[in-house]
Structure 1
Amino acid sequence: MAASARPRGRRRDHHVAAGDSAQPAVRGGLRGRVGSVEVLAAVLVLVVVFRAPLSRLLSTPGSQTWTTVFVSVLTQAIPFLVFGVVLSAVIAVFVPASFFARALPRHPALAVPVASAAGVVLPGCECGSVPIAGALVRRGVTPAAALAFLLSAPAINPIVLTATAVAFPGRPMMVVARGLASLITACAMGWLWLALGRSEWIRLPHRPELDGMSRWAAFWAAVRHDVMHAGGYLVLGAMAAATINVFVPQRWLRALGHDPALGVLTLAVLAVVLSVCSEADAFVAASLRDFSLTAKLAFLVVGPMIDLKLFAMQAGTFGRRFATRFAPATFGLAVVVAVTVGAVLR
């Protein structure tokens, strides 16, 4: 028995020794990784080294104007963005999707305008409306109604309309035009899906990252996710708006802005590219001084319904077959409705 115990002890000592020798290798591998701290340190070192040329660059009138526009857009937009993200997380986590299923009419054609109008009392940005619409479809709500809600909620909720009023002081018709054009577009797209949509185009959504979490944990996870994503796109949008205002030749903007058709198409495409959150896009649109109110209205109607981040989110939630059909149709219809409403309310 004693003899048989010794080899076991030797084997255990051998494993411990092997583990001890392997541990520094793992630690060394971890030391070799480049993380965010290392990147930040490198950036700070570069800033210190090139402090003089950077100071000269930032002291130019163009750079100072760029910084002023960028900071002003962020300062005005961030409170609306944060408030909208928090409310969106509350709705996504604490309000059961079955409530919406019971609240909607059973007839799909009637459920579409009701779901569209629900965006008035259910605030949230487009980042939150996509998972909510996915949950509605998963709980048995007709896809047409869920898609109408997806389009309307980011555009006609009270936070967005209030932000629009703040961004366009003295122009209450911009608020009315945005709400009306967005509501019409959402209803029309819902009815269009009823007429032409196919169930096989939609892949039923699932959000495994929130499964198994408590409500408060899921709430904070949703808030962190939406703030990081929406905030990042807001920064990019503010940078692009400042760049357009400062570095793009004003004669180009005046030429595009003075041509009604080109101005509308330019800002509609710009809304897709910039991907600014709906709580903040009104401030970006207001800063584009050389474009008409109708072109700015197209920017405000198109942006919350289809942009680059929304296309990616819709493709990830409902599938690529859905996104490649739904996005172009939404863009075209939103532009037409915005121009029509802009002409009527001018």
Structure 2
Amino acid sequence: MTQLNNAFTLFLSLLVEAIPFLLLGVLFSGVLLLFIDERKLSAAMPRNPLLGALVGSLAGFLFPVCECGNVPVARRLLMQGIPAPVAIGFLLAAPTINPIVIWATWTAFRDQPEIVVLRVLCSLSIATIVGWIFSAQTDLRPLLQRQVASAMPTPKRRIAWSEIPKLENAAPALLQSGTFLLSEPGKVIRMDAATFPVTGASAAVSKPVKYRLSLLLDNTVQELRELGAVLVLGSAVAASIQVLVPREIILSVGNSPIASIVAMMVLAAVVSICSTVDSFFALSFASSFTSGSLLAFLVFGPMIDLKSMGLLLSIFKPRAVFYLLALAALLTFLFTLIYQLAY
């Protein structure tokens, strides 16, 4: 009974700390989706591979989406002919390089500010390096799913932004197939011209404020239902592991420089908790695991996890997803091991 009480107390403490940040993340994402013209921002993306990967990684600061919301945007970026380094940099970094996640991490690890700084630097570096590596593939289409590859312009002649047709009823490029808003339970609204008939560049931005606020409220409620369920499950798993798994096993794994990093990377991939609240999950292991392994959890989880694997397969073929997984895992392990040995 004592163990059950301890687990329940830890479970409630994780929820109380994390829910405000989940709410802020959902609200901020919805506001940017419905009130900011993404197409104008996309037009400014550079074509230089290394610079493009860096800018794409930093773009997450303007679009604070989790590891589910970044996939539809990255897919549309590729289909519009934006260079692969930009899209892949955004895909890997957006769930971490955004103000909500940085704030949540600071709140959880205010006693270890180096974890906050290193999480940002490592995530940014890994996303930039992986995006730059993918630029070596001149034609990315062999690595993409057929529907995505067929929609891309040829590598010999990419479509200029000035050439994109400005049809009277056209929706913005990032708000077409592949991007959705949640509506009634179990239903979604497709963000395309059928939903937002407009005359101008941005469909969502041009709708009346009252209509957009109504959509924002509906989307917020439904996202909180779905993401809140994931948060509850993740908090329950964290509390159960801390209380039910024998302390000796946790300490034997958690105190090993290499085993602890690998264990936390595997846990991050399996638990698949949202990046908005994963810092509070990791904090529950702070007394048992090394700082390097906690950093590995915070860096690797938002990039690759089981929850996002199916979404990634909607863009890439399995071998490309494997490349992303292997590169992200290898770089995360190397960076966090260096920090662990130097700490």
TM over 0.5: yes
Given the alignment, which residue of 192, 195, 204 partners 1:213? Answer: 195
Partner of 2:165: none
* Aligned residues of 2:74 and 2:87 also touching (Cα < 8 A): yes
C-alpha RMSD of the superposition:
2.2
User: For 2:302, what is the secondary structure of its paired residue?
Assistant: coil
1:168, distance to aligned residue in structure 2 (A): 1.4
Is 1:261 the counterpart of 2:258? The answer is yes
Distance 1:106 1:160 in 2: 28
Partner of 2:238: 241
1:222, distance to aligned residue in structure 2 (A): 4.8
Partner of 2:60: 119
User: For 1:233, what is the secondary structure of its paired residue?
Assistant: helix
* Aligned residues of 2:179 and 2:191 also touching (Cα < 8 A): yes
Given the alignment, which residue of 302, 305, 312 partners 1:304? Answer: 302
Distance 1:218 1:315 in 2: 29
1:339, distance to aligned residue in structure 2 (A): 2.5
Partner of 2:275: 278
Bigger drift between 130-139 and 70-79 goes to: 130-139
* Aligned residues of 1:156 and 1:179 also touching (Cα < 8 A): yes
Task: Give the fraction of aligned pairs with identical amino acids, expressed as a percent.
Answer: 35
1:271, distance to aligned residue in structure 2 (A): 0.4
Partner of 2:289: 291
* Aligned residues of 2:3 and 2:243 also touching (Cα < 8 A): yes
Given the alignment, which residue of 74, 78, 98 partners 1:133? Answer: 74
Pair 114,281 (structure 1): closer, same or farther in 2 beyond 3 Å: same
Partner of 2:199: none
Paired amino acid for 2:323:
R
* Aligned residues of 1:184 and 1:337 also touching (Cα < 8 A): no
Given the alignment, which residue of 308, 313, 316 partners 1:315? Answer: 313
Distance 1:343 1:218 in 2: 49
Determine which structure has more spread, i.e. the larger CA radius of gyration: 1
- The number of equivalent residue pairs is 286
* Aligned residues of 1:163 and 1:279 also touching (Cα < 8 A): yes
Is 1:104 the counterpart of 2:45? The answer is yes
* Aligned residues of 1:122 and 1:157 also touching (Cα < 8 A): yes
* Aligned residues of 1:105 and 1:111 also touching (Cα < 8 A): yes
1:94, distance to aligned residue in structure 2 (A): 3.5
Distance 2:255 2:98 in 1: 31
* Aligned residues of 2:257 and 2:337 also touching (Cα < 8 A): no
Distance 2:334 2:41 in 1: 30
Listed as ranges, the gaps of 5+ residues in structure 1 are 1-59
Listed as ranges, the gaps of 5+ residues in structure 2 are 149-176, 181-189, 197-203, 205-211
Distance 2:38 2:219 in 1: 16
Pair 98,121 (structure 1): closer, same or farther in 2 beyond 3 Å: closer
| CA deviation map 1:216-239 (0-9, x unaligned) | 376556545543432222222111
User: For 1:154, what is the secondary structure of its paired residue?
Assistant: coil
Task: Give the 5 Å matches for 1:1-346.
Answer: 60-196=1-137, 198-203=140-145, 204=148, 206-207=178-179, 209-211=190-192, 212-214=194-196, 215=204, 216=212, 219=216, 222-224=219-221, 226-288=223-285, 289-344=287-342, 346=343
